[in-house]
Amino acid sequence: MDNREIHEAELKIAKYFIDICKENNLEYFILGGTFLGAVRHKGFIPWDDDMDFGMPRSDYERLYTILNSKQSERYVFKNFKNSNIKTYFSRIEDPEFQILDNSAKVQDIRAAWIDIFPMDGVPNQPLKRKIHELRVLSARLLLQYSQFDEIVNQNLPGRKKYEQLLIDIGNVIKPQRFLDTRNAFERVDNLLKKYSYEDSDYVGNHMGAYKFNETFSKKLYMDIKEYPFENMKFRAPADFDTILSQLYGDYMTPPKDEDKNKHHTETNIKSKNLIDE
């Protein structure tokens, strides 16, 4: 799959996002596969099809206020509070470039996008931290179940056995019939905000693919550098090895071919005008 056109569209969205952050003194970091791409490829992982950014919760909420009050003429900012987006975290989309997503049961045509995740604190005491993790994971599961056919990636490679079991159960019981998505969003939101980024020793993105495995000492996010990424530079912790090793293990070794397109996406429509015709 050739993702060059998708990557070009996403870089333009990313530039818009970074410019907003600079203008308003908002902190951000690249996360997950975007961070890995910066380290291993000096840009996109060739087979990746999205970009991930994280922001301390307070800056994430400020971004919502800024972009929700004044939308761009080109780009669309989506959050569960202001749209029918199916994810808890926010997105900035370019409607003029569309992508076909085959990862869930229901095929989805979506705009090219970047994901923006809030980074939240967790309890400093280990037992309280574990209890908090279980509560958030349970709320997150109910949110996914409430939109099971639309949001759950049925084709994600390398799933753990318990995750596949939960998907198998969902396919049988059809949980979206009796769960309220709006209530599920609110529960996740309240739980994540319970422990502030500023007052916590450990912080992370807990709504991404790696869940609470993406929790790290906040000290890592106090020593930041810029990484070359294609024709841009993005901010991330200077100690990339600690983060990437925890998330990926041997992160410099690329995955097998069958594991490369995790979203099962393909370029679908490149111009908004084509949709109207």
Which pLDDT value is given to residue 274?
A: 32
Asked whether residue 105 carries a pLDDT value surpassing 70, the answer given is: no
192 touches 200 (CB < 8 A): no
Q: At what angle do helices 240-248 and 32-40 cross, to 10 degrees?
A: 120
Q: What's the pTM value of the predicted model, to 2 decimals? A: 0.88
Which pLDDT value is given to residue 153?
A: 74
Q: Measure the CA–CA gap between 189 and 185, rounded to whole angstroms.
A: 6
Q: Measure the CA–CA gap between 39 and 134, rounded to whole angstroms.
A: 32
The H-or-E segment that residue 217 falls in is strand 215-217
Q: Measure the CA–CA gap between 151 and 25, rounded to whole angstroms.
A: 33
Q: Measure the CA–CA gap between 187 and 233, rounded to whole angstroms.
A: 36
The segment with the largest mean pLDDT, out of 110-124, 145-159, 168-182, is 110-124
Asked whether residue 252 carries a pLDDT value surpassing 90, the answer given is: yes
39 touches 226 (CB < 8 A): no
Asked whether residue 2 carries a pLDDT value surpassing 70, the answer given is: no
Which pLDDT value is given to residue 4?
A: 87
| Overall number of domains in the chain | 1
Asked whether residue 242 carries a pLDDT value surpassing 50, the answer given is: yes
268 touches 100 (CB < 8 A): yes
Asked whether residue 106 carries a pLDDT value surpassing 70, the answer given is: no
Whole-angstrom CA distances from 206 to 43, 122, 182 are: 24, 10, 19
Q: Measure the CA–CA gap between 230 and 228, rounded to whole angstroms.
A: 6
Which pLDDT value is given to residue 165?
A: 86
Residue 17's domain comprises 4-276
Token pair in block for residue 187: 């529960």
Q: What is the sign of the dihedral through the CA atoms of 36, 250, 90 and 109?
A: positive
pLDDT-based confidence at 258, cuts 50/70/90? Answer: low
Token pair in block for residue 19: 């410019």
Strands 108-121 and 224-229: unpaired
| SS3 per-residue string spanning 125-182 | CHHHHHHHHHHHHHHHHHHHHHCHHHHCCCCCCCCCHHHHHHHHHHHHHCHHHCCCHH
pLDDT averaged over every residue in the chain: 89
pLDDT-based confidence at 163, cuts 50/70/90? Answer: confident
Asked whether residue 42 carries a pLDDT value surpassing 80, the answer given is: yes
